[in-house]
Structure 1
Amino acid sequence: MRALTAALALCLAAPLAAEAPPAWRAVDAATGQIADVAGLEQLARDFPDSASVRLRLFNAQLQAGEGEGALASLRWLAARGHVFSERARAQIPDLIGPAHAEAARAMLAGAPQVIAASTVFGTLPAEAGLIESVIVVPGEEGALASSVSRRTLFALGPNSEWIEVPVPRAQALSGLASAPDGSLGWVASANIDGAAPDPAGFTGLIGLTGDMGDLLMIPAPEGVAVSDLAVGPDGSVYASDPVGGGVYRRVPGKTALEALVPPGTFRSPQGLAVSADGARLYVSDFRYGLAAVELGSGAVRRLASDVPAALDGVDGLWLHRGELVAVQNGTSPMRICAFRLSDDGTRIVGHRILEQAHPDWTEPLGGSIADGVLYYVATGQWDRYDKGALREGMKPLPTVIRRLPLGAR
């Protein structure tokens, strides 16, 4: 008995081994074609925090007449704040069948709760075109915005006027980021909008100096279209390719981008954020959720959540005081959230909604964090443009930049 008691005491004293972060399942165009219930159930197990995957499973269950399974998917979506359209809310109780109609009706929320906590920072004129991102200098002493359609930058000048800044050889300009010390800014240049190719256009990263006199040009590999950017504490620049699916890195002193995560791992990588110690890169895959790339080994892990939260639909992504701040314009409703990370940075352990269904939004897009404030594009215009030009019958709109204090977690 004494020996058994001693052995039990040793077991109780020994720390439990930490559960390894789950591996990321590689996804590509074929993954998006999975339509059978069994295949989508496996996909939902592989990406248990993706509302996009769960919606696909829900629709497949409805079509297959699996009312009980559809009800379970509906419960999952309701727990994560998903709001269906008015038309869908009217149809779902009939589609799910009489045995589950009443329970389904109770879970179908009406109009989303509006959370509006930001104020207007500035407004770019309609002539600026399709603005994708903005970066604001600490102290609000200056700002720079990127235009996809104009292929130029816009700088905030005196009297709150936005001044167009030409960028030689630029293609569509999108992601913006700055070096840790603020000495050098970066903008992504690539044909991300499907415009007619420009043989003289430059694809890659453009390093911006204060006077715009001597630009640093870092070319991307052939066929790569860079968009969102992030800069690590050592000055390494990371870029995602939402079209091809890869993630790329430029190490200080190097003259070209190199592949960090090859295409075929992610379907549509978008927002990026680097951990404070520079050991990990967080990547948002628009349809499947959040991943963490271990920069030492190159291993790609899925960022799991201990709380009910949808982790997909993320466009912009930033790290701020232990939280991943995310613009989710691919969820219903659209929102801006803060996901609190575990101490080891491998899991989501908390979740708060900062803004949601703002009445003045069209589509929130990219931005930057300065002095504890998120500055972001609030009136995205991607729906008004096609292949670099305005759609027939459309006119450009002014672009509103909003400021959202992030507060304490």
Structure 2
Amino acid sequence: MKCLNLLLIFFLLNSTLSVAQTQREIYNSSVRAYEAKDYKTFLQLTQKLDSLRSFHPTYTYNLASAYALNGNSEKALATLKKLVLMNNTTAFETDDDFKFLSETEGFKTVVALKNSQNAIVSNSEIVVTLSEKELHPEGLTYLPKSKTWLASSIRKRKIIAFDIKTGQCKDWLSADNMLAVLALKADAKEEFLWVATAAFPEMENFTKAMNGKAEVLKVNIKTKQIANRFAVEGNHIFGDLIIDNKGVVYVSDSGKPILYKIENDIMTEFVSFEKDGLNMQGLAFNTQQSKLFVADYLKGIAVIDIPTKTKTWLAFPESTSAKGIDGLVFYNNTLIAIQNGVKPIRVTAFKLNEQQNQISSFKILDNNRPEFDEPALATIVGTKVYFFANCPWKAYDENGVLDVTKVSNPILFSCKLN
């Protein structure tokens, strides 16, 4: 059985304290049952944990172990397959819990699947390298009327404009009262730029008093002045936003699983995911803007019918993972997902059916690229998807201090879609 550091296991971005305590209690009980070789109870408890937090690496591993120890080889192998598709670095092959399975064809197939995940798939190409090394970009957007490329900065708490040919950067908006900048989107008229921001220890001049703060900024593009600010009481992380043709803004919250709407300069709750979501990320409209696709970092992709506010969850094909989707864009009835929460990191195209309520097929566009290190949000321009391949989250220490020796200049990639 795999046992990780408890601090890591129970670091739940979107759980209340009581839920986290419940999981901790169940986990501790499951460990005691395992140690006592009470495998029936161990299975019951790991099933409960998996229902509370699907795609949790430790819970998934222990569930596979519990199935194996209870002689359910079919479910043990299916769970190991799920584990491998979200993290192919987990060393389960030498675990005695799976000893009786090790010589079976099913087990060998899962091991082969694990090894196959290391294959490098390369469809995206380097566009340009930015001049500002410590920028730590997260999102980007293109303003076609002024032919301006903009990128957000987590560390520097600003927005920069950059030359798509040379990579030269210059400040577009930098203000002392801005938080770390994540997503950027302009309205159809390019009158206002809408900006999702949040407080992170990794940003410059962070203080503990900023914890949990997040704002959506409405910026006048012509004057580059902040025209309005939108915030919600509590602990929030506004991770992405999207704007429809009527100027209505939708905002995802990674701190609390809620989707907000800003209409006529009033911010309200649009759809709550508190009962069935965990960590809301990227947003994408279908072509008609009748449906909104919302990525959940730990669960997959939800589809919201805009007029009725009803939501459903997409079922993912067996041979892929729903976990770790950050950036999400829509093109030609296909969702392009930046999956930075899986190992190896990949960019996946999920083709939808005609009703847009199921995934009909998928294709890996990029996989296990050595240049990719935490790619995040993406944007579509013409027939290409653009994203920054290297965001230096791993270069910070536990206090948010950046080790510059571990940072490379931001690299913009693009992938032609067809």
TM-score, normalised via structure 1 length: 0.80
Q: Which residue of 150, 153, 165 corresponds with 2:156?
A: 150
Work out the CA distance in 2 between the residues paired with 1:313 and 1:213: 34
1:190 is aligned to 198
- SS of the aligned residue for 1:98 comes to helix
Contact 1:53–1:288 (CA under 8 A) maintained in structure 2: no
Pair 40,234 (structure 1): closer, same or farther in 2 beyond 3 Å? farther
Letter in 2 for 1:282: F
1:130 is aligned to 136
Contact 1:129–1:397 (CA under 8 A) maintained in structure 2: no
Q: Which runs of 5+ in 2 are unaligned?
A: 1-13, 28-41
1:66 is aligned to 70
- SS of the aligned residue for 1:390 comes to coil
Correspondence list, 1:191-340, <5 A: 191-193=199-201, 195-197=206-208, 203-223=214-234, 224-251=236-263, 253-254=264-265, 256-262=266-272, 264-265=274-275, 266-305=277-316, 308-340=319-351
Work out the CA distance in 2 between the residues paired with 1:319 and 1:91: 42
Work out the CA distance in 1 between the residues paired with 2:316 and 2:101: 32
Work out the CA distance in 1 between the residues paired with 2:352 and 2:279: 23
Correspondence list, 1:41-120, <5 A: 41=47, 52=55, 56-63=59-66, 65-67=69-71, 68=73, 69-76=75-82, 81-82=85-86, 84-85=88-89, 88=91, 90-92=93-95, 94-103=96-105, 104-108=107-111, 109-110=114-115, 112-120=118-126
Q: Which residue of 383, 390, 393 corresponds with 1:379?
A: 390
Q: Which residue of 363, 366, 371 corresponds with 1:355?
A: 366
Letter in 2 for 1:173: V
1:3 is aligned to none
How far has the Cα of 1:307 moved from its partner?
6.1
Q: Which runs of 5+ in 1 are unaligned?
A: 1-26
Provide, for residues 361-401 of structure 1, a one-character-per-residue CA deviation record: whole Å limited to 9, x for no partner.
12211121100111101001111235784346855431111
Provide, for residues 40-69 of structure 1, a one-character-per-residue CA deviation record: whole Å limited to 9, x for no partner.
54787899xx6x258733423315623513
How far has the Cα of 1:239 moved from its partner?
1.1
Contact 1:126–1:397 (CA under 8 A) maintained in structure 2: no
Work out the CA distance in 2 between the residues paired with 1:152 and 1:176: 11
TM-score, normalised via structure 2 length: 0.78
Work out the CA distance in 2 between the residues paired with 1:71 and 1:222: 45
Work out the CA distance in 1 between the residues paired with 2:140 and 2:271: 26
Work out the CA distance in 2 between the residues paired with 1:181 and 1:337: 31
- SS of the aligned residue for 1:110 comes to helix
Question: Does 1 or 2 have the higher relative contact order (CA < 8 Å, sep 6+)?
Answer: 1
Give the % identical residues: 22
Contact 2:193–2:220 (CA under 8 A) maintained in structure 1: yes
1:12 is aligned to none
Contact 2:241–2:250 (CA under 8 A) maintained in structure 1: yes
Pair 82,140 (structure 1): closer, same or farther in 2 beyond 3 Å? farther
Contact 1:191–1:197 (CA under 8 A) maintained in structure 2: no
How far has the Cα of 1:100 moved from its partner?
4.0
How far has the Cα of 1:225 moved from its partner?
2.8
Letter in 2 for 1:250: I
Provide, for residues 80-116 of structure 1, a one-character-per-residue CA deviation record: whole Å limited to 9, x for no partner.
x55522x605424x43023444432342132511111
Letter in 2 for 1:188: A
Work out the CA distance in 1 between the residues paired with 2:274 and 2:87: 31
1:17 is aligned to none
Pair 221,91 (structure 1): closer, same or farther in 2 beyond 3 Å? same
| Farther-moved stretch of structure 1 (393-402 vs 369-378) | 393-402
How far has the Cα of 1:210 moved from its partner?
3.3
